[in-house]
């Protein structure tokens, strides 16, 4: 089974621009979560989607948004980029059947390294 894939792997953007990142979950997984990882804050939860619905959302400003398609692929968008948005963005998929963070394994992708200049 193919793992979680994320595209692009690396991205450089300028302050004020917007960016869209893509995540393809493991086949059969309907839960997709997004995380931001920075050296200072560590891993932080952004949001989770299950069957095209946002089930959970972390404490991030409205500039961060996402969506999930009927084939479970997910995208996240960051508008009006700030220097502080430079980070590794990770996506994870799960075989969870309820969209909650029960004792289900989460499988992470390799991440997208976003640099904002």
Partner 1 sequence: KNQVEQSPQSLIILEGKNCTLQCNYTVSPFSNLRWYKQDTGRGPVSLTIMTFSENTKSNGRYTATLDADTKQSSLHITASQLSDSASYICVVSAPTGNTPLVFGKGTRLSVIA
**Which of 20, 22, 44, 65 lies at the binding interface for partner 1 (CB under 8 A)?**
44
Q: Among 7, 65, 1, 56, which Cα is nearest to 27's?
A: 1
**Which of 1, 2, 14, 59 lies at the binding interface for partner 1 (CB under 8 A)?**
59
Q: Using the rule CB under 8 A, is 26 a contact of partner 1?
A: no
DSSP H or E stretch at residue 108: strand 107-108
**Which of 20, 45, 65, 67 lies at the binding interface for partner 1 (CB under 8 A)?**
45
3-state secondary structure of 10: strand
**Which of 26, 32, 87, 90 lies at the binding interface for partner 1 (CB under 8 A)?**
90
Name the CA dihedral angle for 105, 29, 61, 85, rounded to a multiple of 10 degrees. 80
Q: Using the rule CB under 8 A, is 66 a contact of partner 1?
A: no
**What phi and psi, each to the nearest 5 degrees, are found at residue 84?**
-70, -5
Of the listed pieces 13-21, 24-32, 66-74, 101-109, which binds partner 1 according to CB under 8 A?
A: 101-109
Q: Using the rule CB under 8 A, is 95 a contact of partner 1?
A: no
User: What sign has the CA pseudo-torsion 115, 87, 81, 75?
Assistant: positive
Q: Using the rule CB under 8 A, is 100 a contact of partner 1?
A: yes
Which residue ranges make up the site for partner 1 (CB under 8 A)?
4, 33, 42-45, 48, 56-59, 90, 92, 100-111
């Amino acid at each position: 089974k193919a793992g979680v894939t994320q595209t692009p792997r690396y991205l450089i953007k300028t302050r004020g621009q917007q960016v869209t990142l893509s995540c393809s979950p493991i086949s059969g997984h309907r839960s997709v979560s997004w995380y931001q990882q920075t050296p200072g804050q560590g891993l932080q939860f952004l949001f989770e989607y299950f069957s095209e619905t946002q089930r959970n959302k972390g404490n991030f400003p409205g500039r961060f948004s996402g969506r999930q398609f009927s084939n479970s692929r997910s995208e996240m968008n960051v508008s009006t980029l700030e220097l502080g948005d430079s980070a590794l963005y990770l996506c994870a998929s799960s075989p969870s059947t309820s969209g909650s963070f029960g004792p289900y394994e989460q499988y992470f992708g390799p991440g997208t390294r976003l640099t904002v200049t």
